[in-house]
Amino acid sequence: MKLKKIAMLVSGLIMLSAFTACNGGNETEEKNNSGQIETDDDKVQEKEESESVQGSAVESQEEIPANQNLLTGVADLTDAAIGKRPVAVMVNNVSYAMPQYGVGQADIIFEIPVEGDATRFMALYGDYTQVPKICPIRSCRYYFPALSQGFDAFYVNWGIDDTIADYLESLDLDQIEGITNTGGLFGRDQDRLNQGYSLEHTGYFDGTKLVSYVESQGLRTDLKEDKTGPAFQFNGLEEQLKPEGDECVSVQINFGAQSSQFTYDPEKKVYLKQINNEAQIDGKTGEQLAFTNVFVLETDISVRDDVGRKQIDWDGGEDSVGYYVSNGGVQKITWSKEPENEESYLRFYDESGQEISINRGKSYIALNYKNQTIFE
């Protein structure tokens, strides 16, 4: 009997020891919210994984260069142009005026119909200290400054539609005008005159003198506070993405009296521009106009007077159809500015209503009649 009690005591001690070992080792077990057992080693692993994810997020945040061109997203501004206003210049774009010069350096080019369904360029330059000599300069139509104001740009033109004088005054536009030869910045290109160009195709704007003129007049050069960010939502510094949609290596835009075409160069990842099926060349550099991004924005266009001047819906809306072309692809989008707010940004959205990101580089933007573009 005594031996039996001792055996039972020893057996009990062994069981107690085993139970203690299961609960009192190097690991402490707890139940998590789901009722599963969680150990100290599990917690350490979770902490390491969390720190790893946070570290990746920090590393993925790019440091944007201070000299980022707000029109292109490319780091190419001179120090003197950082935080400064861009320049918008009106340029003749009929076949008789070819070749233009100075347009190859533009960061954004708008092409929009004018009287007779010819088109006119508004060329924007992000660095006001590096604007070249540009020719031929042409007159203003109201929808161009309605767009340029969204970039807080100086506005350069030669000639005006007298019917919009009150409208321009209401915009508080910093206008540099060729008729009065503002600042001595304008003139006639003698070589073009000698070659027999009509007078309206010979006017130039000497952008190399712009800085000294602006300083002499005490004009505001700093961007407005709400314009110090990028003009568009750009992809990453090293990203070159294809829009979500179909393949697109060719774009044909019919404006009416003339047309624009674009052909994709897959090596340079740009679209080369033609006018009426002929290469559109900058006369000074001899290079064909090329764009990373091509936008075709469809809108309502009508004739508003006997002269043939256009009435154009420049602010779009949630139902305004457009197309974004880049890197060999095309995406259907919508586009808009804030209604009747010239100073608002031009924005692009996918079909779900989310603002799209675009590739960094030069952009071409056409406002045109509906259903007049072929993408192939």
pLDDT for 30 equals 45
3-state secondary structure 53-115: HHHHHHHHCCCCCCCECCCCCCECCCHHHCCECCEEEEEECCHHHCCCECHHHCCEEEEEECH
- Terminal C-alpha separation, the chain: 101
> Per CATH, which fold does 246-375 belong to?
YerB-like fold (3.50.90)
Output b/e per residue, 67-98; b: 16+ Cβ within 10 A.
ebbbbbbbeebeeebbebbbbbbbbbbbeebb
Q: What is the pLDDT of residues 288-329, one digit of tens each?
A: 999 999 999 999 999 999 999 999 999 999 899 999 999 999
Please list, in sequence order, all residues whose beta carbon lies within 8 angstroms of the beta carbon of residue 322, skipping any fewer than 6 positions away.
295, 296, 297, 298, 316, 332, 333, 334, 335, 348
At 272, list the tokens.
Answer: 């080369």
Residues 49-71 have pLDDT tens digits of 443 333 333 334 789 999 999 99
Q: Residue 172: what pLDDT?
A: 87
Residue with structure tokens 């106009």? Answer: 289
Q: What's the fold here for domain 79-227?
A: YerB-like fold (3.50.90)
Q: Which two tokens stand for residue 96?
A: 């008789």
3-state secondary structure of 286: coil
Q: Check the CA dihedral 7-10-12-15 and report its sign.
A: negative
What span, in angstroms and rounded, lies between the C-alpha atoms of 280 and 283?
Answer: 9
Q: Which residue has the tokens 């697109």?
A: 248
CA-to-CA separations, 12 to 1, 4, 20, 24, 319, in angstroms, rounded:
17, 12, 12, 18, 82
Burial class, 249, CB count within 10 angstroms (exposed 0-12 / middle 13-18 / buried 19+): middle
Give the closest residue to 117 by CA, choosing from 366, 306, 303: 303
Bridge pairing between strands 310-312 and 373-375: unpaired
- Which is more confidently placed, 42 or 363? 363
Q: How many CB atoms lie within 10 A of CB 18?
A: 9
Q: Which of 40-49, 82-91, 141-150, 274-283 has the lowest mean pLDDT?
A: 40-49
β-bridge pairing 175-177 and 316-326: unpaired
Q: What is the pLDDT of residues 68-109, one digit of tens each?
A: 999 999 999 999 999 999 999 999 999 999 999 999 999 999
Q: What is the pTM of this model?
A: 0.84
The pLDDT of 120-129, averaged and rounded, is: 98
Chain centroid to CA 231: how far? Answer: 6
Residue type, 234: F
Residue 292 token pair: 């990373």
What burial class does residue 272 get, using C-beta atoms within 10 Å of its C-beta: 0-12 exposed, 13-18 middle, 19+ buried?
A: middle
The pLDDT value given to residue 60? 45
Residue for token pair 């952009």: 363
Encode burial over 339-359: b for 16+ CB neighbours within 10 A, e otherwise: eeebbebbbbbbeeeeebbbb
Q: How far apart are CA 72 and CA 274, in angstroms?
A: 21
Q: What is the overall mean pLDDT for the chain?
A: 88
pLDDT digits (tens, 9 = 90+) for 142-176: 999 999 999 999 999 999 888 999 999 999 899 99
Where do you find CATH 3.50.90.10 in the chain?
A: 79-227, 246-375
The band of 40, judged by pLDDT with boundaries at 50, 70 and 90, is low
Token pair in block for residue 264: 């994709």
